[in-house]
Amino acid sequence: MKKIFVIALLTFLCIRPAFATDVNLQQLDSDSRTSRPSSNSIMFRRNAEQYRQLSDEEKQEIERQREVARQQAEVYRKKQEEYMRRQAQIEAERRAQEEMERQRAEALRPITLYENKLKIYALVNGELITSSDMQSRINAFILTTGIPYNGKTKTMITNKVLQSAIDEKLKIQAAKKSKIKVSAAEIKQAIRNFETSNNLPEGGLQQILSNAKVSMTAWIKQIEADLAWKKYVVEKSYGRVNVGESEINRALEEYKKDIKVQKFMVSELVRHKNDAKDINGLAAALHQDPRFELYAMQFSQSPTSANGGRLGWVAKGRLPAPLEQAVLKLKPGQVSNPILYGNNYYILKLEQVYDPNSGKQTMPSRKEIQVFLQNKKMEELSEKYMKDLRSRALIEKKI
């Protein structure tokens, strides 16, 4: 019985260091030796004597338990270190996110051009585009797209907005020449549709525009230009967007061939090399901002900009070699660096990869093919009419 008690006592003394966060045994030993040296000395001599009397198996058991306690303490220490490392990482990520949000909020603040002094940006068939017009339109661009106005995007946003302002003048001028009118009721309904789609109460848009330093008059002009242009294109393209059975059959046959080969779902943003001064900054922004479609709609000079730069499914071997090589290096979701091909710079995004051996695609219906081809023809005609207006117009850019 005495022997069992001794073993239990020694086991307790040996295992206890695993709870070093509660009691420091070395400190206790030192304190006891300092306060009662004679009794401590006798106790430790007695314990040593008792330990010598234990069997080898009993000593091994004590050593095993001591090793288990040491390992448990080591595991605990590593968990504590991992916890502290993870907490530091979370804190660093939080601070980085806060800084990113701060920079983004700063970049999305409304701008003021020339301290509100009037400057002429362009003349379009004798009609002025002023700094006041540009200020409202740039702020409207920032408000509706959420694309930051900073060193990487400033030039492209300005050029994009100026071209849009020029096209807006041309659209309204062409509509007036064709005696196409947009009623106040149509404009009011378009504004209400915008408010509804953005969960705004009726009349809520005006306050938002005011806060963003966007003129309501400029906003209405943009709506008028868009509505007038739709009417203009429909009127001019009447009878020219019909799709025949032979066209649908050819499209279906092409689709049947493509479904048997590897394909890539790709989006593009294209800039002519003469307009690509800030192409690297744009690519850098796209590596950080996931809204490729939005950037393509605003900055791409390709006809695909109308639907966010989407090329759709492209069969392997259909892209020009330099572009396909860039796509093959990407993983789904990644964006390429700028690629110069011909007279244009391309930034590509790989959306998905289709493997005919493991994937499955369904054939579109004849109706879906027909609608797709009709929309494609309408977009091509709209672009053609716009190019014609630009080529005939007297446009003078002052800044």
* CATH number for the domain harbouring residue 344: 3.10.50.40
* Range of weakest confidence among 110-114, 164-168, 266-270, 318-322: 110-114
Residue ending a domain, choose from 43, 70, 89: 89
The reply to whether 57 falls in a domain is yes
- Same structural domain, 233 and 122: yes
- Same structural domain, 160 and 210: yes
- Same structural domain, 272 and 184: no
49-108: pLDDT as tens digits: 777 788 888 888 888 888 999 999 999 999 999 999 999 999 988 888 777 667 666 666
Domain extent, residue 183, equals: 116-239
- Same structural domain, 132 and 225: yes
The reply to whether 247 falls in a domain is no
- Same structural domain, 230 and 266: no
The reply to whether 311 falls in a domain is yes
The reply to whether 368 falls in a domain is no
What is the model's pLDDT at position 10?
Answer: 44
**One-letter identity of residue 181:** K
Q: CA-to-CA distance for 87 and 82, rounded, in angstroms?
A: 8
Q: How many domains does the chain have?
A: 3
The answer to whether 244 touches 270, Cβ cutoff 8 Å, is no
Indicate the burial class of 305 (C-beta count within 10 angstroms; 0-12, 13-18, 19 or more): buried
The reply to whether 94 falls in a domain is no
What is the model's pLDDT at position 59?
Answer: 82
For residues 251 and 7, the model is more confident at 251
Helix (H, G, I), strand (E, B) or coil at 353: strand
- Same structural domain, 154 and 219: yes
Q: Which residues pair with 344 in a beta bridge?
A: 272, 341
Provide the edge-to-edge strand list for the sheet that holds 395-397: 127-130, 120-124, 395-397
The reply to whether 296 falls in a domain is yes
Judged against a pLDDT cut of 90, whether residue 46 lies above it is answered with no
The answer to whether 138 touches 298, Cβ cutoff 8 Å, is no
Q: Which residues pair with 397 in a beta bridge?
A: 122
The reply to whether 387 falls in a domain is no
Assign 135 a pLDDT band (cuts: 50, 70, 90): very high
- Same structural domain, 222 and 273: no
**Computed from CA positions of residues 340, 346, 350, 355, in that sequence, does the dihedral angle turn out positive or negative?**
negative
Give, in order, the Cα–Cα distances in Å from 84 to each of 78, 87, 93, 97. 10, 5, 14, 20
Which value, to the nearest 10 degrees, does the dihedral of the CA atoms of residues 72, 74, 75, 77 take? Answer: 120
Q: CA-to-CA distance for 34 and 28, rounded, in angstroms?
A: 10
What is the model's pLDDT at position 120?
Answer: 93
Residue ending a domain, choose from 89, 107, 130: 89
Give me the numbers of helices (H) and strands (E) for the chain, helices first please. 14, 7
Assign 36 a pLDDT band (cuts: 50, 70, 90): very low
The answer to whether 389 touches 124, Cβ cutoff 8 Å, is no
C-alpha R_g of the chain: 37
Looking at the chain, which runs of residues are DSSP E strands? 120-124, 127-130, 263-272, 310-315, 339-341, 344-354, 395-397
For residue 229, give the CATH number of its domain: 1.10.4030.10
Selection from 231, 209, 230 nearest residue 220 by Cα: 209
Q: What is the mean pLDDT of residues 192-212?
A: 89
The reply to whether 310 falls in a domain is yes
- Same structural domain, 232 and 264: no
Q: What is the DSSP letter of 335?
A: B
- Same structural domain, 121 and 72: no
- Same structural domain, 175 and 229: yes
What is the model's pLDDT at position 322?
Answer: 93
What value does the mean pLDDT of the chain take?
83
Q: What is the DSSP letter of 257?
A: H
What is the model's pLDDT at position 276?
Answer: 87
Q: CA-to-CA distance for 156 and 142, rounded, in angstroms?
A: 12
Judged against a pLDDT cut of 90, whether residue 344 lies above it is answered with yes
Residue ending a domain, choose from 362, 377, 394: 362
What is the model's pLDDT at position 262?
Answer: 84
- Same structural domain, 136 and 229: yes
- Same structural domain, 130 and 196: yes
